[in-house]
Chain A
Amino acid sequence: MYDFTALIGSITNLLNETFSPFWAGLIMMVSLGVALLLFYAVLGLYLVYAERKICARMQNRMGPNRVGPLGIFQTIADLIKLLLKELIYIKNADNFLFNIAPFIVIVASIMAIGSIPFAKGLQAIDLNIGVLYILAISSMGVIGILLAGWASNSKYSVIGAMRSGAQVISYELSVGLALLCIITYAGSMQFSEIIASQQDGWWLFKGHIPAFIAFVIYLISGTAETNRGPFDLAEAESELTAGFHTEYSGIKFAFFFLAEYMNMFIIAAIATTMFLGGWLPFHLFQWHGFNRVMDFIPPVFWFFGKTAFIIYVMMWFKWTFPRLRIDQLLALEWKYLLPINLMNLILIAFLTLMQWHF
């Protein structure tokens, strides 16, 4: 039920029958690209809106409520404003790098979205090394941040960029190791197979305590990798005004802003796929009636529901905790998360070897 494989297959067949293989491929690519871009923009805008509403509620405020009912068009209005704003030319900045930096950041996050499975068959490309691909692509974004900080010719920006570089490179390890735990369990790096391996239970539940530890570590280091929440040292508003994007304005700033929210979505989507069973519905062991009801909810809803929950938790972190200091941030990674992660991995390898997981 709700399988997109047949639908996508029929569309592919139709295109292949109507056009030559070259044109069919081109049309496929272009339509896919446009669809992803639209999805990216709309989702990014509404994540910004959601964050503003959520933080407002946590702070006893109402949040945006002027443009449209409940302010749902507020972020679109903001985007229009950003589009119309002047792009400020920075004296003595390295103009080429300065202009290219936001594109690197945003391209990295768009590319990452391509391999995320939204539902069965609804996935732009199902690579057999999907996890590796995501890790490789999402760590490309930091190059954009470093370039932005360096090319801005601003002292605050350089400090922010250096912090961001140190932070992302450190936390990349934890993200990778936490995901490696699930790869060990599932025995595959392909997203569709990882999801298929969770048919009888999500890894968070059937992976015992090690999987839970891996999940917590993944959430912490994922938050850190997106430069958000208590780990927003790269932009540390009260210390560095805005960190690496201090000198950016208009649409270039909007790119950074949107990329931050989309990175958060990507981190949450991977967590959903790896730990929470992706688009699979929630099943309880013997309650067949309950399971049937759950099956009726489309997988897209399951996927976005779980992702939204994780995004909410990340926003909750951000709006509650004070920011860490740079040395504490690195100490947390290298002294706590990394050793725990390594031990956790050994434990999981042992559990998998003995077939002790459910």
Chain B
Amino acid sequence: MAFLKTIKEVGHYFYEIYDGAASLVRGMKVTGSYFVRPSSIVTQQYPENRATLKMFDSFKGELMLIHDENNKHSCNVCNTCARKCPNGSIEIIYKKVEGADGRSKKILDKYIHHLETCSFCGLCVPSCDELALKFDQKFELAVFDRSKLTKVLNKPGSSSKAMKE
């Protein structure tokens, strides 16, 4: 009986050596199979493929104020987005003008987005009742100068849709 047991143990010892070697070969088969298949390369060549590189529609890139073809945006300075922003990244500077009915009315002077403190949480866009905001697909946001990260979102000369004149 003891003899059989010894045989079994010796067999087990050699099986372990075989098993170990086989496991190494299995691993090498995986890497080797990728080595001979260049089609399995998944990386992309970034600056070269810039023309074909499209972000998804919902991609949260830079924040932008939607302007129509007449250079009009729909911000009515309600300040909801600035209040919703957890980091205080949105700053709205407005001026008061006399409306047609004689009441003072706020119009947008500068819609400032501090990109350096923005964490792209996406709370501002759905908060806008006028649907004035959206996220751009632009993703190359790095700049050399921190001051360039403070962006004015309303284009020069633009005006609000709500303003009739």
Q: Residues of A at under 8 Å CB distance from B?
A: 54, 57-62, 65, 316-317, 319-321
Give CA–CA (A59, B35) in the complex, Å: 8
Contact of A58 among B24, B35, B42, B43 (CB under 8 A): B35
Give CA–CA (A62, B28) in the complex, Å: 19
Determine if A57 and B35 form an interchain contact, defined as CB atoms under 8 angstroms apart: yes
Determine if B40 and A316 form an interchain contact, defined as CB atoms under 8 angstroms apart: no
B34 neighbours in A (Cβ, 8 Å): 57-60
* B27 contacts partner chain A, Cβ-Cβ < 8 Å: yes
Contacts A60-B43, A61-B43 hold; do A316 and B38 have CB atoms under 8 A apart? no
* Residue ID in chain A nearest B24 by CB atoms: A321
Determine if A316 and B24 form an interchain contact, defined as CB atoms under 8 angstroms apart: no
Contacts A57-B35, A58-B35, A59-B34 hold; do A320 and B41 have CB atoms under 8 A apart? no
- Jot down 7 A-B pairs with beta carbons below 8 A, ordered by A: A54-B35, A58-B31, A61-B42, A316-B32, A320-B28, A320-B30, A320-B31
Contacts A54-B35, A316-B32 hold; do A60 and B41 have CB atoms under 8 A apart? yes
Q: Interface readout for B17-32 with A: 1 if CB under 8 Å, 0 if not? A: 0000000100110111
Q: How many whole Å from B101's CB to the nearest CB in chain A?
A: 65
Q: How many whole Å from A104's CB to the nearest CB in chain B?
A: 34
Contact of B27 among A57, A59, A60, A321 (CB under 8 A): A321
Q: How many whole Å from A192's CB to the nearest CB in chain B?
A: 35
* Residue ID in chain A nearest B28 by CB atoms: A320
Q: Which of B30, B35, B43 gathers the greatest number of chain A CB atoms within 10 Å? A: B35
Q: How many whole Å from A162's CB to the nearest CB in chain B?
A: 27
Give CA–CA (A54, B28) in the complex, Å: 13
Determine if B43 and A319 form an interchain contact, defined as CB atoms under 8 angstroms apart: no
Determine the main DSSP class of B at the interface with A. Answer: helix
Q: Residues of B at under 8 Å CB distance from A?
A: 24, 27-28, 30-32, 34-35, 38, 40-43, 45
Give CA–CA (A62, B30) in the complex, Å: 17
Q: How many whole Å from B10's CB to the nearest CB in chain A?
A: 16
* Residue ID in chain A nearest B32 by CB atoms: A316
* Residue ID in chain B nearest A313 by CB atoms: B28
Q: How many whole Å from A57's CB to the nearest CB in chain B?
A: 5
Give CA–CA (A51, B80) in the complex, Å: 57
B31 neighbours in A (Cβ, 8 Å): 58, 316, 319-320
B43 neighbours in A (Cβ, 8 Å): 60-62
B38 neighbours in A (Cβ, 8 Å): 57
Give CA–CA (A321, B31) in the complex, Å: 10
Determine if B42 and A60 form an interchain contact, defined as CB atoms under 8 angstroms apart: yes
Q: How many whole Å from B152's CB to the nearest CB in chain A?
A: 37
B41 neighbours in A (Cβ, 8 Å): 57, 60-62
* Residue ID in chain B nearest A59 by CB atoms: B34
Give CA–CA (A317, B42) in the complex, Å: 23
* Residue ID in chain B nearest A322 by CB atoms: B27
Give CA–CA (A59, B43) in the complex, Å: 10
Give CA–CA (A320, B33) in the complex, Å: 12
Contacts A62-B43, A316-B31 aside, 14 further interface pairs with beta carbons under 8 A come to A57-B34, A57-B38, A57-B41, A60-B40, A60-B43, A61-B41, A61-B42, A62-B41, A316-B28, A316-B35, A319-B31, A320-B24, A320-B28, A321-B24
A320 neighbours in B (Cβ, 8 Å): 24, 27-28, 30-31
* Residue ID in chain B nearest A216 by CB atoms: B21
* Residue ID in chain A nearest B36 by CB atoms: A57
Give CA–CA (A59, B34) in the complex, Å: 7
Give CA–CA (A131, B42) in the complex, Å: 45
* Residue ID in chain B nearest A66 by CB atoms: B45
A65 neighbours in B (Cβ, 8 Å): 45
Q: How many whole Å from A335's CB to the nearest CB in chain B?
A: 12
B32 neighbours in A (Cβ, 8 Å): 58, 316
* Residue ID in chain B nearest A317 by CB atoms: B28
A59 neighbours in B (Cβ, 8 Å): 34
Give CA–CA (A321, B45) in the complex, Å: 28
Give CA–CA (A114, B41) in the complex, Å: 40
Give CA–CA (A300, B39) in the complex, Å: 33
Q: How many whole Å from A70's CB to the nearest CB in chain B?
A: 12
Q: How many whole Å from B1's CB to the nearest CB in chain A?
A: 29
Give CA–CA (A54, B38) in the complex, Å: 11
| 10 closest Cβ pairs, A-B complex | A58-B31, A320-B31, A57-B35, A320-B27, A60-B42, A58-B35, A61-B43, A320-B28, A60-B40, A60-B41
Give CA–CA (A57, B24) in the complex, Å: 19
Give CA–CA (A138, B129) in the complex, Å: 76
B42 neighbours in A (Cβ, 8 Å): 60-61
Q: How many whole Å from B97's CB to the nearest CB in chain A?
A: 56
